[in-house]
Amino acid sequence: MASGMFGGLIVLEPGQRWNPERDHLLIFSQQGEESPTDSGLIVLNNGRKPALPPLKAGVAHRFRFINITAGDAVEFTLSQGDSTIKGRVIAKDGMNLPAHQSVMRAMEIPMGSGETMDFEVVLRRGPLRVKVVSYNNFETTLDVK
């Protein structure tokens, strides 16, 4: 399973369009047959890997996180500078949340195996750190311009 092909299937409402400048898909999975516990964040942008183009500051971005690990709970933390950024969780497991559940919160997001979560953030200029705490911890940085 860890060394097979995978990707996200995103279903949009009629009339909606995927905007690669503001819609971002991040998949957390184990990698490789030799070391199935070597986990990594797979960043896909319009089906392309390895990296997102620089993100735009001051506009709303929709991040879709998918945890496809085999039994590995993960916690994502998004931060800029010395602080965790705030955002709005807008969908859970493929379903949009009602407005009263979509509240601003710190982007420290725990997810179990098989869970998906979409959230919206407005970023400022500078590096965006994506930190993952799981069986295998790691951190990656995305540019915001």
**pLDDT string in tens for the chain (145-residue length):** 555 677 788 888 899 998 988 998 888 876 544 444 444 455 544 444 445 678 999 999 999 998 888 778 889 899 999 999 999 999 999 899 999 999 899 999 999 988 999 999 999 999 999 888 887 777 888 889 9
84: its two tokens:
């965790």
Phi, psi of 109, rounded to the nearest 5 degrees: -115, 105
Of 3.40.47.10, 2.40.30.10, 2.60.40.420, 2.60.40.10, which CATH number belongs to 23-136? 2.60.40.420
Q: Rounded to an integer, what distance in angstroms lies between the CA atom of residue 53 and that of residue 68?
A: 24
Phi, psi of 74, rounded to the nearest 5 degrees: -130, 155
Q: What is the dihedral of CA 30, 31, 36, 37, to 10 degrees?
A: -50
121: its two tokens:
């953030």
Helix, strand or coil for residue 5?
coil
CB within 8 Å of 118: residues ≥ 6 apart: 62, 63, 64, 65, 89, 90, 91, 92
pTM: 0.82
